[in-house]
């Protein structure tokens, strides 16, 4: 079903229109009954493929529930990223969104981005939520949303773009704290925005459909490492930011979560071979080692804020769910991946027979750029 101008009527009214172009904004319309039925059927089909056998471990009666995170049926139509039908700015965004691979880095060699794997992983909110959930066991307790809002101006915000908004954690808080502001959730994946209220926009970070100097604040939280051309995306964040505005960016520390990485290597390396997926490789293009130079290439001022802690997980299930959320990034069949998870479950059973928790360090790094 095409996403045409008739579908855009109310959606465009929900979006703030910056000066310069009033034909470049789109939210996601609710599907009609037939489309909704197809989406529910697709969700059930995906759900069936995601079922995993329950694994033995700590818990009542020595059993725990199956850890699989099952995708939710999308509440929006799977239209093309960028919505080329609504004008030239969106057509440009759509063309940029189709690119894969990595551009030449500022220094050293970056890993190629698996654009298809990224989009599949973020086709729904379940995988991301599994990765977020494990940090409930972090000490000291840390909410990156709290840290982010403290680094933004307390008043005077007009337009705020939350780029790579995901499930909308930052968007929701900013709307509550700044009701006078227009906070737009932007994500390349329509499926990630199903739980975020309008205004929302499907767009690529490398080609944001806003004019120069449009936003008072721009956020790109834990997402730039997924972008095939990071320098271009950073330059785009700077382009749409007003002079004197604030851009917040976050990522993880290099070589973070050591015990999780070691567990993955123990259970997966033999099955995947020396060139198979490495735990943590997804963020190496934009971690605490590489991020500062990439940001300073576009911004005059880059402040660094590090938040260190330890995650102490009391049972295997959250760790297995975290690993399972990586499935689309691993070049292996479901039978191979399921065997890796079974091996991880056995390894964790041995660990928890001797230890109360499974501990690993976790450092989040925020950058305030101007």
* pLDDT tens string 298-319: 999 999 999 999 999 999 999 9
Cα-to-chain-centroid distance, residue 78: 18
- How confident is the model over 117-164, as pLDDT tens digits? 566 666 566 677 778 899 999 999 999 999 999 999 999 999 999 999
171/161 Cα distance (integer angstroms): 9
Spatial distance between the Cα atoms of 87 and 96, rounded to a whole number of angstroms: 15
Looking only at the bridges linking them, the beta strands covering 159-163 and 182-187 are parallel
Domain residues of the chain, as ranges? 5-369
232-268 pLDDT, tens digit each: 999 999 999 999 999 999 999 999 988 999 999 999 9
Q: Taking a C-beta distance cutoff of 8 angstroms, is the pair 67, 321 a contact?
A: yes
- Label the pairing between strands 358-369 and 241-252: antiparallel
SS3 213: coil
Give the SS3 label for residue 221.
strand
Closest by CA position to 140, among listed 367, 363, 366, 368 = 363
| Predicted model pTM | 0.67
Query: What is the 8-class DSSP label of residue 143?
Result: -
CA pair distance 357, 105, nearest whole angstrom = 39
Torsion 143-218-3-115 (CA) sign: negative
More confident residue, 244 or 106: 244
Q: Residue 233, Cα to own-chain centre: how many angstroms?
A: 15
Second-level CATH architecture of 5-369: 3-Layer(aba) Sandwich (3.40)
- The Cα 164–Cα 24 span in angstroms is 18
């Amino acid at each position: 079903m095409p996403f045409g101008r008739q579908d855009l009527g109310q959606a465009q009214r929900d979006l703030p229109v910056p000066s310069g172009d009033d034909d470049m904004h789109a939210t996601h319309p609710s599907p009609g009954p037939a489309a909704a039925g197809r989406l529910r059927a697709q969700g059930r089909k995906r759900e069936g493929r995601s079922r995993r056998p329950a694994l033995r471990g700590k818990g009542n009666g020595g059993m725990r529930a199956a850890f699989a995170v099952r995708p939710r049926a999308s509440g929006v139509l799977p239209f093309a990223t960028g919505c080329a039908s609504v004008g030239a700015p969106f057509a440009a965004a759509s063309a940029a969104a189709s690119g894969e691979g990595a551009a030449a880095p500022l220094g050293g060699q970056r890993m190629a981005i698996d654009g298809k794997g990224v989009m599949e992983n973020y086709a729904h909110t379940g995988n991301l939520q599994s990765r977020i959930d494990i940090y409930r066991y972090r000490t000291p307790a840390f909410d990156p949303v709290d840290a982010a809002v403290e680094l933004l101006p307390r008043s005077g915000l007009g337009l705020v773009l939350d780029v790579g908004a995901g499930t909308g954690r930052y968007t929701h808080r900013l709307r509550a704290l700044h009701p006078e502001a227009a906070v737009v959730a932007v994500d390349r994946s329509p499926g990630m925005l199903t739980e975020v209220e309008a205004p929302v926009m499907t767009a690529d970070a490398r080609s944001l459909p806003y004019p120069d100097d449009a936003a008072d604040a721009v956020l790109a939280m834990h997402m730039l490492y997924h972008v095939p051309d990071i320098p271009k995306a950073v330059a785009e964040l700077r382009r749409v930011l007003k002079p004197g505005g604030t851009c917040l960016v976050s990522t993880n520390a290099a070589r973070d979560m050591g015990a999780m990485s070691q567990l993955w290597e123990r259970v997966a390396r033999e099955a995947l071979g020396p060139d198979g997926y490495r735990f943590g490789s997804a963020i190496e293009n934009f971690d605490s080692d590489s991020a500062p130079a990439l940001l300073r290439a576009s911004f005059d001022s880059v402040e660094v804020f590090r938040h260190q802690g330890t995650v102490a997980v009391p049972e295997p299930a959250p760790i297995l769910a975290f690993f399972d959320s990586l499935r689309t990034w691993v070049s292996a069949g479901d039978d191979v991946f399921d065997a890796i998870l079974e091996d991880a479950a056995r390894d964790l059973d041995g660990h928890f027979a001797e230890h109360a928790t499974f501990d690993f360090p976790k450092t989040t790094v925020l950058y305030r750029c101007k």
